[in-house]
Amino acid sequence: MAQDRRPTLRIHRQRMRRLSSTCRLRFNLSLTDSSALPAPYVIDHMGTVLAAKGIDDPGFTSLLDLQRRDPKCWVKITGLERASAVGKPFHDALPFARALIDNAPDRVIWGTDWPHPNVKIMPNDGEIVDLIPLYAPDPAKRHKLLVANPEKLFGFAKM
């Protein structure tokens, strides 16, 4: 039986209201009731997508729908090594990153997932960085992913 995470989300909602903070979430793609959170939230590891399930996986399409309809929803483009079914160079995970970026280019951020705990295949961070232009080929979207969106979400000074 799947664990019901709604009580956990209720606790996060209460804490976020008090702190006026951003919440980073890592959860199974089937859990999509996070839109009830009162502040911006970041879904980590592209929602723990699994490339083997394909781009039309109901969990992934639910994530795209949540990202499209909830302006508080941000997605971190990270963990392609976790998502990949075939291993290096992790190209089977690229369509998922690309779809999330194209779906809401103003609400995606990038991360390395360093130090890569609990992975089957340890990635080289240089190789992970080399993937960015493959899933974010448009320079304007890439700038948003790497610079403008983190500035906006976390309140960093503009560079």
Q: Any idea what DSSP says for residue 148?
A: I
44: Cα within 13 Å, side-chain hemisphere: 11
CA distance 2 to 108: 28
Q: What amino acid positions are annotated as catalytic residues?
A: 113
What residue type is assigned to position 51 of the chain?
A
Q: Any idea what DSSP says for residue 159?
A: -
